[in-house]
Structure 1
Amino acid sequence: MASITRRAFASASAAAALTMGSGARAQTYPSRPIRWVLGFGAGGVGDLTARLVAPKLAEGLRGQPIVIENRPSAGGIVAAETVARSEPDGHTLLLVTTTTATAAAMYRTLPYDTMRDFTFIGQLAAFDHVIATASDGPYQDLRSLIAAAKARPNGLNLGSIGVGSAQHLSVELFKSIAGIEAAIVTYRSTPELINAISTGEVQAGFETLAPVLPQLGGRLRALAIPSAARFPGLPAVPTTAEAGLPGYLIRSWNGVCGPAGMAQPLVERLNQELTRVAALPEIRSRLLELGVETAAGTPAALRELMQEEIARYSRIVTDARIERL
């Protein structure tokens, strides 16, 4: 009994020492610049969000610079693997996005486990999608587009960017909920998609709102926003439920993760700073101009969101009989 008691005491002492050590490290964290890895190139909504947030985040982290590192690849896999294999000391972070969830749904195997190989820190932002058509095209609202598709099965082309992206899978979901048959045409980039919509190469395009926003009222017309509420910057554009298609909801999001095994005090510190920055009026207003809304939350909430999104997009892939990569 005495031996068991001594072992228990030793274990408790070791745990206490580890906790105190983690707390001490949190007090001196970060001790060098933080590397924030993004799985896509410069200029996109995620990149713009990270670059806007990084300086304000750095101010609360002992003034250490936050260096944005773009590592674009299909599904953001290269960036995610880079972070998953890094030391869990809080100096290497990942901008985790909807693409992280769609990659888990689309790829048979990944060089990491999305739910086990990362420490979830907190959500940063959420942004709407939009269904858009040519401003001089025949479709004045979503009902007329759906009616035309039903009248001519497989007679309409619907556009999105890359196969397996949230945008592409959102078109598959749209077809299923609307009960239509239509061809899906995918493009390598948003500018190519916008050109295809405006010229009538596709009758409607499905994209995140931010890069399309400058074209609305010019080359493009917004038919609906697939969100629960109207986008504040486009108060005249209805939600998909208001436009006659209840149940069709798609939003993209991003947040911050680190490698698995990060100490809890570091997670709490980073989450606290993300929450602080997300509440700054200048950050909120600037992001809103880009079609992005801040959406801070707990580490547990981000983990739950990821689980839900992987399950959701996996169902879309299965129901649409999309071949996994």
Structure 2
Amino acid sequence: MLPRRFLAGALLAAPALARAQSWTPNGPIRVIVPFAAGGTTDILARLYAQRLAETMGIAFLVENRGGGGGSIGADLVAKAPPDGQVLLFHNSTFSATTAVMEFQNRAQHSIERDFAGISVGALVPTVILVHPSVPATNLAEFIAWARAQPRPPFYGSTGPGSAGHLTGEVLKRDGNFQMEHVPFRGASLLVQEMLAGRIPFGGDQLSSAMPHIRAGGVRPIAIRSTARNRLLPQIATVREQGFPNAEILGWNGFFAPGRTPEPILIRLQAEIAAAARHPQVAARIDELGADPGGNSSAEFTAMVQGQVAALRPVVASLGLRME
């Protein structure tokens, strides 16, 4: 079900769209996905790009710019002209990398100053996975297995400072065991290595993980988001399993460069909200185990900034650094 705060924003889309018709894109709009192709963020970006191209009558070109836990693609958008022609489609890893780079005093950009939140595309739960060779169905069993290994097992993430990196370090500390971090340029690359059995532990957004879960290529042992998911109701959350510091709300959303004029943001937010309500888009998002977005720019910005604020003390307590 669409959360009430998002539904309220979606219901305002029509009048907002009418007020924003004065801005027209000047040529194709580039949508930067800061991860490799094939993951949930890429899937959702292309779903929205197709619908927005149909409604706005202009091409939306999705570009994958992976690396640095998403920071390389984000930095490209931060430095783009604030004219609505280059957008960022990121996920909750943006909050984690922001908190980590702030802690290290090496932030290339500011999530508050250099980006303008437009709207959530979807709320997507994230899931912790193990290779089927690992005899674990929950976090306690995995930790017991990891402690019994002759050397610390590998765990994968979508890059240094990413949400997956943060989760792995929280679990190591709070579970009192060891793992070795292996960063990837996107979840699809990480999952490929998990399917091959070279990485026994990692995480992914549920939407792109479900086909592999159903096929038996990976096994879910925890939901990292704030509630259990309808596609995997038997899998407990990290909080339920005693690891509240590993919890993070999963989202995918649109950003424009900072200082983008209000009429552009209003038009884009209204178009995204309308796309989220379209039956085919909403049905596809539901199939992916996610909830459609469409909230207002102010609501999205407050949500992201609140998440960053919540992650700052966790990062500081871990001393987490971009490797």
Q: Which residues in structure 2 correspond to 1:135-214 (within 5 Å)? A: 135-147=132-144, 157=153, 159-161=155-157, 162-177=159-174, 179-188=175-184, 190=187, 193-194=190-191, 197=194, 204-214=201-211
Could you tell me which amino acid in structure 1 is paired with residue 207 of structure 2? A
1:131 to 96, 103, 128: 128
Once residues 24 and 220 of structure 1 are traced to their aligned partners in structure 2, the CA distance between those partners, rounded to angstroms, is 48
The residue aligned with 1:295 is 293
User: C-alpha distance in 1, partners of 2:98/2:150?
Assistant: 29
Cα distance in 1 for residues equivalent to 2:99 and 2:63: 25
TM-score of the two chains, using structure 2 as the length reference = 0.79
Q: Distance in 1 between matches of 2:314 and 2:245?
A: 14
Unaligned runs of 5+ in 2: 1-17
Using the alignment, how far apart are the partners of 1:193 and 1:28 within structure 2? Answer: 40
- In structure 2, what is the equivalent of residue 309 of structure 1? 307
CA distance in 1, matches of 2:140, 2:20: 58
- Retained in 1: the 8 A contact 2:94–2:162? no
Q: Give the alignment's Cα RMSD to 1 decimal.
A: 3.1
Aligned counterparts of 1:192 and 1:293: Cα–Cα separation in 2: 25
Is 2:97 the counterpart of 1:103? Answer: yes
Deviation of 1:116 after TM superposition, in Å, equals 0.7
**Contact 1:159/1:197, CA 8 A, preserved across alignment:** no
Shift, 1:241, TM fit: 4.2
Q: Is the counterpart of residue 35 in structure 1 residue 33 in structure 2?
A: no
Structure 1 counterpart of 2:89, one-letter code: L
The Cα shift of 1:299 comes to 1.0
Counterpart in the other structure of 2:5: none
Q: Which runs of 5+ in 1 are unaligned?
A: 1-22
Aligned-residue offset at 1:229: 2.6
Fraction of identical pairs, as percent: 30
What is aligned with 2:281?
283
Query: Which structure has the larger Rg over C-alpha atoms?
Result: 1
Report the CA distance between 1:156 and its aligned residue.
5.3
Equivalent-residue separation in structure 1 for 2:260 and 2:188 (angstroms): 39
Using the TM superposition, give the Cα deviation of residue 215 of structure 1 relative to its aligned residue in structure 2, in angstroms. Answer: 2.1
Residue 55 of structure 1, aligned match among 31, 50, 55: 50
Which whole-Å CA distance do the structure 2 matches of 1:196 and 1:25 have between them? 46
Q: Which SS does the other structure have where 1:42 is aligned?
A: coil
**TM-score, length of structure 1 as denominator length:** 0.78
For this pair of structures, how many residues does the alignment match? 300
Q: Which moved more, 1:180-189 or 1:112-121?
A: 180-189
Alpha carbons 2:121, 2:293 under 8 Å: kept: yes
Q: Deviations over 1:258-303 (max 9, x none)?
A: 1222222221221111111112232122234344432231111221
Q: Which residue number in structure 2 is paired with residue 263 of structure 1?
A: 261
Is the deviation greater in 253-262 or in 24-33? 24-33
Structure 2 CA distance for aligned equivalents of residues 86 and 240 of structure 1: 38
Question: What is the aligned counterpart of 1:70 among 64, 67, 91?
Answer: 64
Q: Of 103, 116, 132, which aligns to 2:113?
A: 116
> Which segment drifts farther, 118-127 or 133-142?
133-142
Q: 1:185 corresponds to which letter in structure 2?
A: H
SS of residue in 1 equivalent to 2:125: strand
Q: Is the 8 A contact 2:96 2:161 kept in 1?
A: yes
Q: Is the 8 A contact 1:160 1:207 kept in 2?
A: no
Q: Which of 74, 79, 83 matches 1:80?
A: 74
- Higher RCO structure (Cα 8 Å, ≥6 apart): 2
* Residues 55 and 225 (structure 1), Cα distance of their counterparts in 2 relative to 1, 3 Å cut: same
The answer on whether the counterparts of 2:100 and 2:312 sit within 8 Å (CA) in structure 1 is yes
SS of the residue corresponding to residue 61 of structure 2 reads strand
Cα distance in 2 between the residues matched to 1:324 and 1:70: 21
Mark the CA change 1:83 to 1:153 in structure 2 (over 3 Å): closer, same or farther. Answer: same
Of stretches 272-281 and 103-112 in structure 1, the one that deviates more from structure 2 is 103-112
- In the TM superposition, what is the alpha-carbon distance from 1:234 to its structure 2 partner? 2.2
Question: Matched residues in 1 for 2:55 and 2:79: separation?
Answer: 26
